[in-house]
Amino acid sequence: MSKEINKAWEATIRKSSGTKKRASSIFSQMSVAHVDDDVSSEVCQVEKILPNGDFYTGQWLEKFPHGQGKYLWTDGCMYFGEWITGSTMGKGRFSWPSGATYEGEFKSGYMDGKGTYIGASGDTYKGSWVMNLKQGQGTESYPNGDFYDGEWKKGLQNGQGRYQWKNGNQYIGQWKNGVFSGNGTMMWNNGNRYDGAWEEGLPKGNGTFRWSDGSFYVGVWSQDAEEQSGTYYPSESSSESPMDWDPQNLYTVELSDCHICPCEKVAIYPSQKTLSGCGGEDDNRPLFKKRTDGSGRPRWTSEDGRISSYSNDGNGGLDVGRKSGFSALEARSISTRTSFTRLRIKNPKRQGETISKGHKNYELMLNLQLGIRHSVGRPAPTPSLDLKSSAFDPKEKVWTRFPTEGSKHTPPHPSSEFRWKDYCPVVFRALRKLFKVDPADYMISICGNDALRELSSPGKSGSFFYLTNDDRYMIKTMKKAEVKVFLRMLPAYYKHVRSFENTLVTKFYGLHCVKLTGTSQKKVRFVIMGNLFCSQYAIHRRFDLKGSTFGRTTDKPESEIEPTTTLKDLDLNFIFRLQKSWFQEFCRQVDRDCDFLEQERIMDYSMLVGLHFKETTSAGTVAPTRISLDSAEDGRPGLSGVDADNLSVDPSRWIQLGINMPARAEMTVRKSTSETPQLVGEPTGECHDIIIFFGIIDILQDYDISKKLEHAYKSFQYDPTSISAVDPRQYSKRFRDFIFRIFVDDT
């Protein structure tokens, strides 16, 4: 059919009243075939008027559209694109009578994959879709000039995202069901900003409001004025600060015009449009039937009796009741996938025990919080990143006495009297600035109204770990020897992290000591560092990897492994595939970091790895895909539109080396039967789409006399190359060799 004829019948159909009589008269002069005329079993080109007046032109197989084709409904909706046995599948374009259009990927009749929807009013969404709903990463341009870039779930903003208003105001942070919820930052075009907690679209909980002159208000926020409390900190550079500012102004004035523009509603979804009369009354039946397995759970089986891996439980289930159901081709694909090994994971639980009144370390926590608030909040000049050598002097420390009744510089408190020590305060103030840590946020996380959480058991070194309530910071108690090592290497550490923004070594924010009064005179030294696993993604598996084999297993059966269990080298059953550009940067940075640690005579460090599996069910199972299946034109493994889009990493979108990185984990199997266990298993070709986190931790152990003795003693009993305590140069080489075997280029 010529382009002129196409335009003619499309325009005429849109103007028609939708009656069968009118539709028939439109096409009567085209000499098109009747729906029952074609009986060929091969793909052929047809033009068909269907019994209700719908019209189809394109490729046809037996009783269904199959291949490239265009379908026009009498109500004015139209689809042009790829078909598989009567179902829209692949790339196509769907248009509505209102002028709205969707162009992108389809699966089984649904908008599913990567696509663009342009509404009748100009509302434009570009991004990922799952079963007709916006889900995954996407951008929305609104008719009023507003813009959103971030994550979606079930058609609403959900996760991390940025919303920018036409006037220049913007919000960056977490969302839930289309409103601000969690931690986020609101920035106004006049330079003011709010950083903190949100609930149901409004500030709720700990937060900080800053003025453009540098002054700020830190406190607990609530629309209920009685629940509102906080402290005002004036700016050093301005004497005209709003001391009488009412915190309720944040709700009544500042946020009064910060409304979220609603998304345009889709009038009717493509999957709701049925094909009329294709192949008779039985041809629109579902290709799957509902049956029950031995446990009584509903299962779906194909017409030939093969069990599908999908259940209609609302969690990744498939709507097989629609008339535009699956093709037999897709049924075969699903059947193939069910033969894969399914990884079982448990739902992550919140780590640690809240340190409440009566806990043995309750007073220590109060002392720590009082000390941090004093150290960070006291007036000090803006730190320069160019530090003098004297700032790194181990003798550069500040003692402060905290009497119970308070003093000129310290507040009264309910704890016992204690003394507080800051090590090299100028250096750590500069490090926090270098790592872009806001002082007010830092204080709120550690010293806000929320208590710290103590991890259930101390580490192998005997150190205790504490987490802030928002999971952003981890506090670790330290031995005196570790403090000495840290202070010795502090100048080199500062130079290294300043030189390499993507460094994987632990980020340290403060080094302190609490000295308790009384007969014990006990000293508790501790360091504050970033928590690598602070993310909106749940961590399903975590590994501590060194590249050695002796004692490097947890010896736990699969049923006892929790998401909080730290697995070791011989528990690892994956290799990690990184996108090429990230893999190259990863290799460069591992070399730089290992060179730095080797020069500082550090050993026994490890790579901490956390995995979030993207496709999990409520039952806690994850089904992998074969690398060899569905190969794309360039020979790379085939992924769905959503997954392929997620692997196209935009470094500016809350992703950095080792943080929130899309990747793939390929399962491995160890086949070694010798006395020395195989360190890295053989790849199986079964992959999981993951979000991966990794960093180098435990970097404060030098190769001292105790480690040398440990190496000598264990070398008599075990293979010297299998133990952790080895010379820093040998340790660095072994560590790198191992890491570059388990992290590979995804080609």
What are 233-238's contacts with CB under 8 Å, separation 24+?
233/377, 233/440, 235/211, 236/379, 237/213, 238/213, 238/214
Q: What is the pLDDT of residue 209?
A: 86
248 SS3 class: coil
pLDDT in tens, 628-658: 433 333 333 333 333 333 333 333 346 789 9
**What is residue 42's predicted lDDT score, i.e. its pLDDT?**
82
Let me know if 621 is exposed, middle or buried by CB neighbors in 10 A (0-12, 13-18, 19+). Answer: middle
CATH 1.10.287.3510: does it fit domain 351-530? no
Q: Report strand pairing: 87-95 vs 78-84.
A: antiparallel
CATH 3.90.930.1 range(s) for the chain read 42-235+247-251
**Cα distance between residue 471 and residue 112, in whole Å:** 34
Cα separation values, 319 from 108, 266, 267, 275, 324, Å: 10, 19, 19, 17, 10
Distances (CA, A) of 314 to 78, 133, 338, 342: 30, 14, 19, 19
CB burial readout 211-226, b (16+ within 10 A) else e: bebebbbbbbbbeeee
Specify the CATH superfamily of domain 533-617+653-746. 2-Layer Sandwich (3.30.810.10)
Residues in the chain: 747
Beta-carbon contacts of residue 678 (< 8 Å; ≥ 6 apart):
670, 671, 672
CB 329 within 8 A of CB 84: yes
Reduce the DSSP state of residue 13 to 3 states and report it: helix
Q: Are 15 and 75 in contact (CB under 8 A)?
A: no
Task: Say if residues 642 and 136 touch (Cβ distance below 8 Å).
Answer: yes
Listed in sequence order, the residues at least 6 apart from 131 whose beta carbon sits closer than 8 Å to its beta carbon are: 110, 111, 112, 271, 319
User: Which residue ranges in the chain fall short of pLDDT 50?
Assistant: 1-6, 8-9, 12-40, 279-339, 628-653, 711, 713, 715-716
Q: Can you list the positions of beta strands (E) in 501-598?
A: 508-516, 523-530, 541-545, 566-567, 574-578
Model pLDDT, residue 658:
93
Q: Count CB-CB contacts under 10 A for residue 355.
A: 19
Q: Would you state the pLDDT for residue 743?
A: 96
Residue with tokens 């991390």: 160
Residue 429: closest CA among 518, 519, 512, 342: 512
Contact by Cβ (8 Å): 324, 88? yes
The β-bridge relationship of strands 44-49 and 33-34 is: parallel
Quote the CA–CA distance of 397 and 513 in Å, as a whole number: 10
Which one, of 219, 743, 710, 730, lies nearest residue 440 by Cα? Answer: 219
Is the entire prediction scored with pTM above 0.85?
no
- Amino acid 122: pLDDT: 82
pLDDT at 543: 94
Can you tell me the distance from the alpha carbon of 245 to that of 257, in angstroms, rounded to the nearest whole number? 19
pLDDT of residue 396: 84
Read off φ and ψ for residue 412, nearest 5 degrees: -65, 155
Q: Sign of the C-alpha dihedral, residues 735, 741, 746, 747?
A: positive
Residues 517-550 have pLDDT tens digits of 766 668 899 999 999 998 888 899 999 999 887 7
Pairwise CA distance, residues 334 & 526, whole Å: 53
* Phi, psi (rounded to 5 degrees) for 291: -135, 175
Question: Which part of the chain has CATH 3.30.800.10?
Answer: 351-530
Q: Which of 746, 486, 735 is nearest to 607 (CA)?
A: 735
Domain boundaries for CATH 3.30.810.10 within the chain:
533-617+653-746
CATH number of 42-235+247-251: 3.90.930.1
- The predicted pLDDT at position 2 comes to 43
